[in-house]
């Protein structure tokens, strides 16, 4: 029977892409494996996955997708955190996962189950089927260290992180303002906090953790984790830095011709002159904020390529559905598109981010600090302005700015609004200041380090070979 590795991502498109890249990386160096990916249909918008899955199926025959039965969430679950829905969905999914892996085991020897952080309930499935279960952590080592440390922080105070109003001292990290911890865990009394705490408690109980990072990007965080400073009351499992894993192709495959348009436009711009603004598959701004960004960009005088999505729906029943195509004339200041047409391009909803970041005309990136996007910018050698919106992105901003020196921070007012003056200042600083130049030099250094980590004998390749060895000896 052939040896198989089962990958179990959470439904979000970004998490699926990272998981597929892990599968491809394993196959590139160990082609005797087959990769089976479990797909959970979400009852809410997690980004369109169909075209992407079809493309991977058509190009990589050793990766097969197993679509699990749909699950209806209980009607009484309501939360403004989509993470609550994800945790509940994946908890209810355990019987489907058990059935799928048992079925795969009829024709393959399953060497490992590798699951997303959100899929932690499936640890028990691995135990039942006597298959070693690993986590694939799709954020960085700093974020992993903070989640390892969360049970200790939980026991150290009765207050919510949002009310602590102090810096948190987490091993291997710069001081983290308590309000900059991951958004879903700021309020201690919410169900989503309890879910993340449970997941953090389960992390060390796995056979090991694979992190999408490379050692020289996060040396201090990795040292603290490997020396056992982050898990305070039990042994730390093996942690394998196997990254950066990024998709070489485009995100969802849903293209309306906008990608060719924006690449043609970039071809006509001077080298490293364009600021690219793009905020991930779930990054949405209010109309007021979009207008403020437009004013800041216009005043900055910088060349820009900006991906604009429609604002979030005010209708609560639609909050987890994909937004409609944006009406740029309605959303942006009157005459903005005409006045900036010689140096700016606004693209509706989507652009091929990896291709754009690697284009010679792009010299800066305003990002929501999602970890995939951060790694994509590092691998392209593009410095960043960090503008976090949701999930663990505020935490990532602190690390990217204070620890890694890969980004300048976008500063928002207390209610989260960013003024045009701040947009103008940060974009200009990034493209044309000593501070921006320092970030640019560091990003280029890390680009070279990423290439070294992924090359033969590099740290990420060595980590992969040790991991595979542990599977095949078992």
* 118-137 pLDDT per residue, tens: 999 999 999 999 999 999 99
pLDDT reading at 208 higher than 90: yes
Other Cβ atoms less than 10 A from the Cβ of 229: the count is 16
Give the residue-averaged pLDDT of 25-39: 97
Other Cβ atoms less than 10 A from the Cβ of 269: the count is 18
d(CA 332, CA 168): 39
Q: How confident is the model at residue 14 (pLDDT cuts 50, 70, 90)?
A: confident
Give the residue-averaged pLDDT of 368-381: 97
pLDDT reading at 255 higher than 50: no
Give the residue-averaged pLDDT of 180-206: 97
What pLDDT is stored for residue 474 in this prediction?
A: 55
> pLDDT tens digit string along 215-228?
999 999 999 999 99
Average pLDDT, rounded, for the chain:
94
What pLDDT is stored for residue 383 in this prediction?
A: 98
> pLDDT tens digit string along 383-422?
999 999 999 999 999 999 999 999 999 999 988 999 999 9
Answer for the pair 67, 41: CB distance below 8 angstroms, yes or no: yes
Among 57-71, 303-317, 367-381, which is the least confidently predicted range?
A: 303-317
Give the residue-averaged pLDDT of 20-24: 97
DSSP E strands: which ranges in 73-196? 108-116, 133-137, 167-168, 176-177
Q: What percent of the chain has pLDDT over 90?
A: 85
What pLDDT is stored for residue 43 in this prediction?
A: 77
Tokens of 14: 């970004």
What pLDDT is stored for residue 127 in this prediction?
A: 98
d(CA 312, CA 322): 9
Q: How confident is the model at residue 76 (pLDDT cuts 50, 70, 90)?
A: confident
Answer for the pair 366, 372: CB distance below 8 angstroms, yes or no: no
Tokens of 252: 């969802």
Other Cβ atoms less than 10 A from the Cβ of 472: the count is 11
What pLDDT is stored for residue 455 in this prediction?
A: 97
d(CA 188, CA 209): 26
What pLDDT is stored for residue 249 in this prediction?
A: 58
| Beta carbons within 8 Å of 334's beta carbon, 6+ residues apart | none
What pLDDT is stored for residue 243 in this prediction?
A: 96
pTM of the model: 0.94
> pLDDT tens digit string along 424-440?
999 999 999 999 999 99
Give the residue-averaged pLDDT of 240-249: 90
Tokens of 183: 């958004």
Answer for the pair 399, 292: CB distance below 8 angstroms, yes or no: no
> pLDDT tens digit string along 259-285?
678 999 999 999 999 999 999 877 899
3-state secondary structure of 166: coil
d(CA 449, CA 378): 10
| Beta carbons within 8 Å of 380's beta carbon, 6+ residues apart | 354, 357, 358, 362, 447
Give the residue-averaged pLDDT of 338-350: 96
d(CA 379, CA 462): 19
């Amino acid at each position: 029977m052939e040896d198989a590795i089962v990958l179990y991502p959470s439904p979000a498109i970004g998490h699926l892409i990272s998981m597929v890249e892990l599968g491809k990386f394993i196959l590139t160096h160990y082609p005797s494996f087959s990769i089976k990916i479990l797909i959970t249909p979400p009852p809410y918008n997690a980004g369109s996955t169909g075209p992407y899955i079809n493309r991977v199926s058509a190009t990589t025959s050793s990766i097969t997708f197993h679509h699990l039965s749909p699950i209806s969430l209980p009607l009484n679950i309501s939360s403004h955190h989509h993470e609550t829905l994800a945790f509940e969905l994946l908890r209810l999914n355990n019987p489907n996962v058990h059935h799928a892996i048992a079925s795969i085991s009829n024709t393959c020897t399953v060497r490992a189950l590798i699951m997303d952080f959100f899929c932690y309930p499936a640890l028990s499935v691995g135990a039942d089927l006597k298959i070693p279960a690993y986590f694939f952590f799709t954020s960085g080592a700093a974020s992993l260290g903070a989640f390892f440390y969360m049970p200790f922080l939980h026991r150290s105070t009765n207050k919510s992180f949002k009310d602590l109003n102090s810096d948190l001292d987490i091993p291997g990290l710069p001081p983290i303002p308590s309000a900059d911890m991951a958004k879903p865990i700021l309020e201690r009394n919410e169900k989503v906090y309890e879910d993340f705490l449970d997941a953090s408690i389960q992390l060390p109980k796995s056979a090991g953790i694979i992190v999408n990072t490379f050692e020289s990007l996060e040396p201090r965080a990795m040292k603290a984790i490997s020396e056992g400073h982050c898990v305070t009351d039990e042994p730390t499992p093996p942690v394998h830095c196997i990254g950066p894993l990024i998709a070489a192709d485009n995100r969802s495959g849903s293209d309306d011709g906008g990608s060719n348009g924006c690449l043609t436009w970039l071809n006509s711009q001077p080298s490293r002159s364009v600021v690219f603004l793009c905020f991930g598959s779930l990054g949405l701004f209010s109309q007021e904020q979009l207008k403020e960004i437009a004013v800041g960009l216009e005043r900055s005088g910088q060349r820009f390529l900006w991906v604009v999505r429609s604002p979030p729906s005010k209708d609560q029943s639609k909050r987890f559905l994909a937004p409609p195509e944006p009406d740029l004339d309605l959303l942006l200041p009157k005459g903005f598109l005409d006045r900036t047409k010689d140096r700016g391009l606004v693209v509706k909803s989507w652009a091929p981010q990896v291709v754009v970041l690697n284009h010679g005309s792009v010299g800066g990136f305003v990002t929501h600090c999602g970890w995939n996007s951060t790694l994509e910018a590092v691998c392209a050698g593009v410095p960043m302005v960090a503008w976090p919106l949701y999930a663990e992105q505020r935490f990532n901003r602190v690390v990217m700015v204070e620890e890694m020196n890969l980004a300048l921070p976008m500063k928002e007012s207390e209610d989260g609004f960013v003024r045009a003056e701040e947009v103008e200042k940060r974009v200009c600083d990034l493209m044309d200041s000593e501070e921006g130049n320092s970030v640019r030099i560091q990003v280029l250094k890390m680009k070279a380090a990423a290439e070294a980590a992924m090359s033969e004998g590099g740290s990420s390749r060595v980590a992969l070979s040790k991991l595979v060895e542990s599977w095949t000896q078992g």
